[in-house]
Structure 1
Amino acid sequence: MHVSDAGGRSCAATTPVPVLYAFESESRVRNVLQDRGDLSSLANSVAAFTYWDHRGLRNASPARSLQDDRPSAPETPLLNSSPLSGTGQDSRSQQSTVDTPHLYRPRTSTYEVVDKIFKEHNPQGTIHHTSAAIPGGSPEARTHNSEVQYLLVSDVVGEDLPPSEIIDLALDAYTRAVHWFMLMLHLPTFRAEMQTFQGTGYVRADRVPSLVLVILVIAVGAKYITSQTAREKCPGFDLNGLGDRFIGKVEEKLLDVYEASCIEAVQISAILSSFYLYQGRPSRSVAVNGSCLRVAMTLGLHKESSWKMQDVVTRELWRRLSWVIYTAEVFGALAYGTPGTIRDDEWDVSLPENIGDTPETCPGFASTETYEGEPCGPVTILSYQRYKFRLYRIASSITRTIYRPNGASWNSIATEIKAINDRLQQWEKSIPPELRLSSLRVTADNEYDRRMIKIFQLQALVLQLSYDNIQLVLHRPLLTMNRAPSPPALNDTGQSQGPFGDGSSRNLSDLNEMIKTSRYQCWVSAMRTSKMGDHAEILSASRETHGGAYVGIQSFTAGVVLGIFALSDPLSDQAHQAKRAVSKIIKLPRLYEYRTTISDQCGVILEELLRLILAEEMKALLVEGDASTKAGAAEQAIARSRANSNSAESEQPGHQRFPRIDFDPPLTNTDDFPSMDNPRSLPDQSPEIPRDICMGNFSDALLSLQDIRTSNTFDNTTQAWIWDDLIWQPEIT
């Protein structure tokens, strides 16, 4: 390795620079630098990088950091900053490294440090590197060959690109199937480069990843074109075969793309991972998605303060991809039941803004996007993405704090559930009419308006399903508890022990009220999901998009929740409603023709669940006398519980932490429940829960559900993990 100035003259001695490891001591770093006479003046600066120490014990900081051109990370997330204001990001980026706690400073690779040393010594110089094998080599420090190499597109792809009309058809299909759902491209830029490949037949060697991205988009679009459309638009052309060949070529080139470590590698991984997931290949999806996350973090996509580009379009594209990756990671943690690998305090990127390719508004509406009371501009097709990103930011803590609480008490878990629920409800209240299904039952006179309305309808459907599914996952731990556990035994110091908190009557009363609230929210969300058939045209439109498989994944969780309600008291009116709702979910794919591999597998399992409900109903009918006796006993138990609760409240006024919910009188009309179309806050409105929800035995219902799991293999995208009571819950007697 050596340094050359702008004129190509050698400026460094021939002595090789040793690799400096992060665990080297300060004296070792100083000695190494002093051995190089031409760099001895930098010894003090480099020695001050003592926060390399993984224990983070040293506090010395240099007078001028070698990382000055990479601003330190902001102290607070940029999530809620207004997209109309560009000052927040810039002002935070100017924060001094010295002001940032050393444990949270961006850590650099050894190669980057050496690169900085040479640049400090000779700012005009560049490194002629032979360092491709060194971990952490910075792409910005690398030089390219002076001779630009061009390759034939046909040599890279293995065949010529298809005719222009086929490419246009496939790109249009991709836009309708994926682009509205996951915003991973800046279409004008993408089209321009694609047309260059078409027109010249050549690709520059360092732009091969862009060509791989092009053939991937063509392939995904081709796979979403219906056979009828193919016969009408391109008779005799094998679009399905084209998609298979191009997908295979992308898979063949994937490792080369990763080695390039460029933004196209992130785009390719994100598109390919989502395609695998929604085409029924979840194992491949999770592997590619993990690689996507690592490549993105290597590029610094999670820290906007480290970005160096000046181009507005490029910055916005990076923001889009950053939040797509974040959302995919949180969704994956919820769907697969795995711990989230992203820490919110490390993901520090502003929400994307409109940059000219997403200005379309919904015909007949003119709402303003707002969040936390702040206006963020008009509602456009980009607004769905921003609301979705905010939603998954809220949901990111569920698998970490609710399902893996590390010995937390039931009371603290209930408190956390309530806090997340409050944030979800605030998010729901901010949804504009353009993204609410009830507001979008409109017609249009021309094709453009109809297409725009269809996009907003699909986005509204996905937002509603996402919100309800997250609520179901959030409240599931309390759903299957019949009551708060009895106070545990006291230890020698007079303090309670076990996972249930201090066991005071106030805490038990609060927990019981939160259990009721959780059941109510689960019922509301599951029933609303079962009513997707009320939006038949939107469901039909989703069948050739990512949204079709997404509906299948989210509706499965709702079906299982409804099954638990039915099994908790098989002869109740509530069980009858739940049973009919499960049957609606099963029939949806067939009725509205959005069948996918995921929906087929989920449908088979829900059919087994429905058979189990009918079997339990038969058992209850044959022993109806015993059931009536048990119901009467349960009524008496509830009355005693209310009396005790009222007594405790009279002794300790003002201590109720969770919303008080009364079960009388019963609600039989499910349309009265709060929803995104008819919002009603649980704490403010004190809603009533149907009596049947209170009467059921939910613990036994879960045991019955687990019997199904022994004979059926759950696909790992169906969130079946959240029904495994043995994950962490203690046994309750």
Structure 2
Amino acid sequence: MPPEQEQKCDSFRPCSLCARANVDCEQALSEDTPTSRAKSNNQRRRGKLRQRVQSRSSSDVASASAQSDQQPSLPPERISPSFGENERATEPRDQPSAWAPLDFGESESAMGFARKIYRLGSQTIDEQQTSAIPDGGCGTRTPITRTSGQRLPISTILGGRFPEQNEIDSLLEDYFESVHWFSLVIYEPTFRKRLNSVKDGFALPAEAPFLTLLSVVLCMAAWYRSKKPTQEGHEAWQLCSDELLRIVESRLIHIMDQHSVAAVQTLLLLGSHHVYHGRPNLSFALLGATIKISHAMGLHRKLAHGSFDDVEERKRVWWTLYTWDRFASISYGRPLSINDEDCNVGMPAEFTESPLFRPESAPESLGVRYSPYQTQLTQLYLLASPALKTIFGSLSAQSGNQHFESEYSLQVNDVTQKLLAWRRDLPSFLSLDLDTDYHPSATHLGIRAHSLQSLSLQLTFDNVMIVLHRPSLARQIKNLSAQTPIATGSVTDMDSPLAQGGTQGASQSDQVPRFEANSSSEYWWRAAVRTARITELPHLTQIATDSHLVAFMAMNLFHAAIVLTLVALSDPLSDPAQAVKRTITRVFRLEELLGQRDPASE
């Protein structure tokens, strides 16, 4: 074959050489086309391929160097590609690439093997051509193209009215005060950097994932602002929240088609918003989709390469998703969706974050340490997971089996002791003191956040304790249903806390008892009493009603009220039962107050 024919494109399109060079095939050359022109085109394609490979290699070296230095935060110029600012924004940092596929040493898909075969020849698979195959292209089927870098108004990109910058800054401070301390979905350092890039109200179309995340953040902040009794313009902020929610939901399918951290963050916040605002079924469906997207991205696996901020953001998002999965299993009574054995992600680093965004906000000498709360909450659920898996998993169908009950009893005993040790070892600023209420005069944002976080951890701990000992609670209900109206002497047979003297003063009820094999009821009983005692903390519960904790608190109070009601019904005419009924009355009054602030609390 003559040399000039070897340098033409193959007869089938796209030819292998052009595919590797990521360029369009040239039109067939006529016979009178000079040979030098064919050689020039071929050399240009090969040159582009070499440049692309060299650029990728340089990027990998820089990434590995940054990882070895263990720097907490690198300047943008050190971690960004060396092209223009507008072009850099067209490729989000969390956009996956076929040149650096995730490899965790686990079973792979067919596409995973195909990628490895291609890499044997220093080739790559075009993601555009494989996006319709499972585990193919990691982006959408309409890939982002590098344009001239034209920036558009944010409202044009999202297709709806977007708040002004001063409103955005103000709402973000409300978000950190109402939501962020409770659900650490966003990673503040990275979030702030991306926010600064769109402060002028313009953005690149490729920044739509972050803009959607920003929309759901502002939606939640506007909703809580509209519920504040001292806030003017309640209806305007409610309309603002509704409009932002419409924008996010209109982009829902597009969000779910993305493999990006921003997409996972958006779905997490959207799901938590719905579970606490009257649409729990939609929230449960969104949680399942979010878990699958996270698995596809490998968030459940340790990231071998990447900047400090990228690694920490992935950790934070994954463990937030993990705790939501455990909470959902308890709330819905359904199996766990995340298997502990599949995860090898470390705990997030603890650092301070700034909740202030307005220029006029007085800067505090120190930021707020929100992250220890996430670490403690995650550890609580990790300790409880083996028992939760048994309770809500397929083995629960064997609950009538005597051998199963014996095995489960041993498991619960072990988990209970670990949870009690976890509670004893809590940092003082995250340990709730039921005898000391929150002081409204406290102005430091950290004190307020830690007070609410301590309440959240206590509610979670007590709720888990009740759930772990549900078999004992179920036996109480079974015995109560079999009891005749005049047979009031069966309380002792039911192992009721009333019969055991478990109705001591409230100040004594929250003391952790010494564990005994036949006193399982003591655990769910005292957990319910501790939960009910938050009615004695009016200032703390008041600030909780202005935050994302309001519905969570209402759900846990409802759970505790069921336990208290069961105990009161076991011996309704006794003096201890009367005391329990008065406690239930206080719980219902608080529930009524919470119901005025949140649909899930009604």
TM-score by length of 2: 0.70
- Look up the equivalent residue of 2:262 and give its one-letter code: E
Paired residue for 1:381, among 370, 376, 384? 370
Distance in 2 between residues matched to 1:599 and 1:275, nearest whole Å: 14
Structure 2 residue aligned with 1:452: 446
* Alignment equivalent of 1:518, drawn from 517, 520, 527: 520
Give the structure 2 partner of residue 471 of structure 1: 465
Name the structure 1 match of 2:155.
154
Residue type of the partner of 1:391? L
2:566 is aligned to: 564
Q: Go from structure 1 to structure 2 and tell me whether the alpha carbon gap of 1:3 and 1:254 turns closer, same or farther (over 3 Å shift).
A: farther
Q: Which residue of 1 aligns with 2:500?
A: none
**What's the counterpart of residue 346 of structure 1?**
342
Secondary structure of 2:256's match?
Answer: helix
| Local SS of the residue matching 2:126 | strand
Letter in 2 for 1:8: A
d(CA) in 1 for partners of 2:541, 2:127: 57
Q: Is contact 2:315–2:345 with CA below 8 Å preserved after alignment?
A: yes
Work out whether 1:136 is the aligned partner of 2:138: no
- 1:213 and 1:379 map into 2 onto residues whose CA distance is 22
**Paired residue for 1:574, among 570, 573, 576?**
576
Aligned to 2:122: 122
1:674-725 CA-to-partner distances (Å, cap 9, x unmatched) read xxxxxxxxxxxxxxxxxxxxxxxxxxxxxxxxxxxxxxxxxxxxxxxxxxxx
1:68-217 aligned within 5 A: 105-122=105-122, 127=126, 129-139=128-138, 145-147=145-147, 150=150, 151-199=152-200, 201-203=202-204, 205-217=205-217
1:461 aligns with 2:455: yes
Residues 3 and 420 from structure 1, CA distance in 2 versus in 1: closer, same or farther, beyond 3 angstroms?
farther
Partner of 2:555: 553
Instruction: Name the SS of the counterpart of 1:523 in structure 2.
Output: helix
Describe the superposition over 1:463-494 as per-residue Cα deviations: whole angstroms up to 9, x where unpaired.
Answer: 11100010001112023436999xxxxxxxxx
CA-CA distance at 1:593 after TM superposition: 8.2
Post-superposition offset of 1:8: 2.6
Distance 1:128 1:380, change over 3 A: closer
Q: Residue in 2 aligned with 1:223?
A: 223
Query: Structure 2 vs 1, CA of residues 215 and 483 (structure 1 numbering), >3 Å: closer, same or farther?
Result: closer
1:505-544 pair list within 5 angstroms: 516-544=518-546
Conservation of the 8 A alpha-carbon contact between 1:549 and 1:598: yes
For residue 29 of structure 1, what is the aligned residue in structure 2? none
| Contact 1:531/1:584 (8 A) holds in 2 | no
Pick from 231, 238, 252: which aligns with 2:250?
Answer: 252
The match for 1:334 is: 330
CA pair 284-141 structure 1, distance change in 2 beyond 3 A: closer
Deviation, 1:543, is 0.9
CA distance in 2, matches of 1:206, 1:4: 29
Q: 1:192, CA displacement in angstroms?
A: 2.9
Equivalent in the alignment of 1:72? none
Quote the offset at 1:152 in angstroms.
Answer: 4.0
Q: Is 432-441 or 472-481 further displaced after alignment?
A: 432-441
Please, which of 21, 24, 28 is the counterpart of residue 8 of structure 1? Answer: 21
Contact in 2 for aligned 1:359/1:381 (Cα 8 Å): no
- Given that residues 316 and 355 in structure 1 are in contact (C-alpha distance below 8 angstroms), is that contact kept between their aligned partners in structure 2? no
Shift, 1:154, TM fit: 2.2
Following the alignment from structure 2 to structure 1, what is the Cα–Cα distance between the partners of residues 538 and 275?
A: 24
- The aligned amino acid for 1:214 is L
Does the 8 Å CA contact 2:353/2:370 hold for their aligned counterparts? no
- C-alpha distance in 1 between matches for 2:229 and 2:324: 31
Cα deviation digits, residues 386-424 of structure 1 (max 9, x gap): 100111112223342135344443222211221111111
Give the aligned residue type for 2:21: G
The sequence identity of aligned pairs, in percent, is 26
Q: For 1:338 and 1:189, how far apart are their aligned partners in 2?
A: 34
1:409 equivalent in alignment to 2:408:
no
**1:445, CA displacement in angstroms?**
7.2
Name the structure 1 match of 2:475. Answer: 481
The Cα of 1:163 is off from its aligned counterpart by 1.6
**2:430 pairs with 1:429:** no
Tell me what 1:619 maps to. Answer: none
Q: Which amino acid aligns with 1:168?
A: D
**Is the partner of 1:351 in helix, strand or coil?**
coil
Shift of 1:177: 1.1
2:601 is matched with which residue? 599
CA contact (8 A) 1:475 1:519 kept: yes
Output one character per residue of 1:53-90: Cα deviation in whole Å (capped at 9) or x when no partner. xxxxxxxxxxxxxxxx9xxxxxxxxxxxxx999xxxxx
Question: Which residue identity lines up with residue 372 of structure 2 in the other structure?
Answer: S
Paired residue type of 1:221: A
Greater CA drift, 250-259 or 113-122: 113-122
Cα distance between partner residues in 2 of 1:482 and 1:173: 44
Is residue 429–residue 450 contact of structure 2 (8 Å, CA) maintained in 1? yes
Question: CA separation of 1:178/1:340 partners in 2, compared to 1, >3 Å: closer, same or farther?
Answer: same
Deviations 1:237-267 (A, max 9, x none): 8221111011011111011112122111100
Decide whether the 8 Å contact of 1:2 with 1:127 is kept in 2: no
Cα distance in 2 for residues equivalent to 1:571 and 1:128: 72
Structure 1 vs Structure 2 CA RMSD: 3.5
Query: Alpha-carbon deviations, 1:634-666, whole Å to 9, x = none?
Result: xxxxxxxxxxxxxxxxxxxxxxxxxxxxxxxxx
Q: Distance in 1 between matches of 2:573 and 2:138?
A: 66
Shift of 1:332: 0.5
For residues 475 and 256 of structure 2, the distance between their equivalents in structure 1, rounded to whole angstroms, comes to: 47
Residues 1:310 and 2:320 are matched in the alignment: no
Q: Residue in 2 aligned with 1:283? A: 281
5 Å matches for 1:393-408?
393-402=382-391, 404-405=395-396, 406=398, 407=401, 408=403
Deviation at 1:129, TM superposition (A): 3.8
Contact 1:219 1:246 survives alignment (8 Å): yes
Q: Is the 8 A contact 2:352 2:368 kept in 1?
A: no
Kept in 2, the 8 Å contact 1:529–1:558? The answer is yes
What amino acid is aligned across from residue 198 of structure 1 in structure 2? K
Deviations 1:503-533 (A, max 9, x none): xxxxxxxxxx966421111111111111112
User: Quick one: which amino acid aligns to residue 120 of structure 1?
Assistant: L
Show the counterpart of 1:655.
none
Measured after TM superposition, the shift of residue 380 of structure 1 is: 3.6
Distance 1:446 1:337, change over 3 A: closer
Partner of 2:95: none
1:586 equivalent among 585, 588, 594: 588
Paired with 2:476 and 2:586, the residues of 1 have a C-alpha distance of 27
SS at match of 1:396: helix
Task: Name the aligned partner's letter for residue 561 of structure 1.
Answer: V
Q: Which runs of 5+ in 2 are unaligned?
A: 1-13, 26-59, 61-69, 73-103, 357-366, 480-514
Please say if residues 569 and 575 of structure 1, whose CA atoms lie closer than 8 Å, have aligned partners that are also in contact. Answer: yes
Q: Within 5 Å, give how 1:226-241 maps onto structure 2.
A: 226=226, 231-232=231-232, 238-241=236-239
**Matched position secondary structure for 2:536:** helix
